[in-house]
Structure 1
Amino acid sequence: MIRFSLDKLMKARGFEQKDIVEISGINRNTIKALANNANNRIDFPTLDKLCRALGVLPGDLIEYIDEGNRAE
């Protein structure tokens, strides 16, 4: 499973969603959805804005969680 880890990054840096909206210029509903992993996708321009605003690389915001082999 691929997960967007904006919520972890925000907590680690002491940011709230409103702070991310302010520094990135991204719509608050988009930030809320990303922080709650309620999105199925992220646009490159949005990812770019978050990376620039937070001073991180895309890999800092995206994580892969191995759920193991579920084939039975």
Structure 2
Amino acid sequence: MAIRFSLDKIMKERGLEQKDIVHITGINRNTVKALALNANARIDFPTLNTLCTKLDVLPGDLIEYIPDENEKSR
């Protein structure tokens, strides 16, 4: 199983760069970079809330579940 953070997809759809997300949300540049590169191991609820509020998205728009191939056959 894999949980993927999809900020990069939202950025691409909206033509935004990491610096734009930093400006819009006020979230630390390093945090935005990690989230956009899907290099994070976790996300704090306040950060998730800020992204949802400022980008007008739902948590499910940002978090994606990708089952392993082995799990699909069960």
Runs of 4+ in 1 over 3 A off after TM superposition: none
TM-score w.r.t. structure 2 length? 0.91
Post-superposition Cα deviations, 1:20-48, rounded to whole Å, max 9, x if no partner, equal 00010000000000000111000000000
Q: Would you say how many aligned residue pairs link Structure 1 and Structure 2?
A: 70
The aligned amino acid for 1:45 is: P
2:59 aligned with 1:58 = yes
**Runs of at least 5 residues in structure 2 that lack an aligned partner in the other structure:** none
Q: CA deviation at 1:69?
A: 1.1
Give the share of equivalent positions with the same residue, in percent.
74
Q: CA deviation at 1:67?
A: 1.6
Once superposed, what is the RMSD of the aligned Cα atoms?
0.9
Instruction: Please state whether the residue corresponding to 1:42 is helix, strand or coil.
Output: coil
The aligned amino acid for 1:37 is: N
